[in-house]
Amino acid sequence: MVDRPAIAAGMQLPPFSREGTYHHWNRFAAANYEYAEHHMDDEYARREGFERAIGMAPLMSAYMHCMLREWIGLDDATIESVRIRLRAPFLRGTTLTAGGVVKDVLHEGDGRVRVHLDLWADSDPNTRLLEGSATVVRVE
Amino acid sequence: MTNGSRETLITREMAAAVGKTYRLATSFPIAVSDIRRWAVAVYYPSPPPRRFWDEEYAKSTRWGGIVAPEEFNPFAWMRATPRPGETFPDLWPEPHLGIEPPATCANILVELTTSSTGIGMRPGDVVTSSLSLKNYSEHTGRLGLMLFTTTEEKLTNQVGALVRTYIHTFIRYGERDERLYTRYAGRTA
């Protein structure tokens, strides 16, 4: 968890990584009722133009949320928004590594600090999976 | 289908439907186990933070109890309303609006924005969803002509407070797939 007074523009978030395996995706599928065939079946994914099964966009968004929570902490902060735009499929057998950087820190005068960030996630070998942004709000 | 000199997947009926609300739904009351399972799934293989599953610990925090993660889905598996079979799956707006959907073979979610008001979702909350068609656009790329469909979903709780807003954009492309068509439009050719 970040030392709050140190939050400043340019600060990099610790990377957050998750493997793209059926072990991970099946658990999320069970939580989100998300069993579309291109997440579960390589052959079906190939019919749609992918090399093999692909990870779920809501799970990738959830990973961005997890990364933000691990960085800002859970005690006195909330995630106001997360936006992601997919650039490449999260292929089964690759690893998603997410990162972020603080773009702006706004002190709102009522004990609230609003932090704007750029986010991204890459897979091996260095394929950009998504780009996005987030806003987190720390409350006193 | 053609529209002037350009092939398009957007019919006049589809274009006229932009801005319409096409699906309302309510959740069952959120259970502590719903939140716990979600947290286990998204944090796997790490254990989830105690705030999402340890009720005694959560009471000691400023939140005063368990509050679901900001991306938690209270509608997974089943809704209270509409009941199973009473409506089409959410993804394609057209069947809900009585419009013939484009004949494509794939749906891929490509953009997702989750905005939360800070109110949070707690055990016992009943959430209402209002889903609207926000925009259609098209682009030709590696997969051929792709239809981009953007929807907006607003979630309110049992006292009418806005809890969250989603903006989703998904693409459809390719030749008609009967299995997909039956699933999302409830009809076969």
Query: What are the residues whose beta carbons fall under 8 Å from the beta carbon of A70, sequence distance 6 or more?
Result: A1, A14, A16
Structure tokens at A117: 């960030």
Q: State if pTM tops 0.90.
A: yes
Q: What is the pLDDT of residue B5?
A: 40
Any domain includes A125: yes
Domain count, chain A: 1
Q: Is B69 close to A59, i.e. CB distance below 8 A?
A: no
Q: Is A76 close to B37, i.e. CB distance below 8 A?
A: no
Partners of residue A62 in chain B, C-beta under 8 Å:
42, 69, 71
Nearest to A78 among B73, B118, B142 (CB): B118
Report the b/e string of B110-138 with b at 16+ CB within 10 A: bbbbbbbeebbbbbebbbbbebbbbebee
Q: Is the pLDDT of residue B189 over 50?
A: no
Question: Is there a cis peptide before residue B82, judged by omega within 30 degrees of 0?
Answer: yes
Q: What is the pLDDT of residue A111?
A: 85
Any domain includes A122: yes
Mean pLDDT of B10-22: 96
Q: What is the ipTM of this complex?
A: 0.94
Q: Is the pLDDT of residue B120 over 50?
A: yes
Any domain includes A38: no
Any domain includes A87: yes
Structure tokens at B124: 């016992």
Report the b/e string of A53-90 with b at 16+ CB within 10 A: bbbbbbbbbbbbbbbbbbbbebebbbbbbbbbebeebb
Question: Using N-to-C axis directions, what is the helix angle for A57-72 and B32-43, rounded to 10°?
Answer: 90
Q: What is the CATH number of the domain that holds A132?
A: 3.10.129.10
pLDDT less than 50: residues of chain A = none
Q: Is the pLDDT of residue B6 over 60?
A: no
Question: Is there a cis peptide before residue B45, judged by omega within 30 degrees of 0?
Answer: yes
Measuring CA to CA, which residue among A64, A62, A75, A81 is closest to residue A4?
A75
Lowest mean pLDDT among A28-32, B41-45, B141-145, B158-162: B141-145
Q: Is the pLDDT of residue B4 over 70?
A: no
Any domain includes A51: no
Any domain includes A10: yes
The domains of chain B, with CATH numbers, are: 2-30+75-185 (3.10.129), 32-67 (no CATH)
Q: Is the pLDDT of residue B1 over 70?
A: no
Any domain includes A132: yes
Measuring CA to CA, which residue among A124, A131, A61, A126 is closest to residue A101?
A131
Q: Is the pLDDT of residue B2 over 60?
A: no
Q: Is the pLDDT of residue B7 over 70?
A: yes
Cβ atoms of B102 and B185 closer than 8 Å: no
Q: Which domain holds residue A132?
A: 4-18+59-138
pLDDT band at B19 (very low <50, low <70, confident <90, very high): very high
Q: Is B37 close to A31, i.e. CB distance below 8 A?
A: yes
Nearest to B70 among A33, A58, A79 (CB): A79
Any domain includes A64: yes
Q: Is the pLDDT of residue B79 over 80?
A: yes
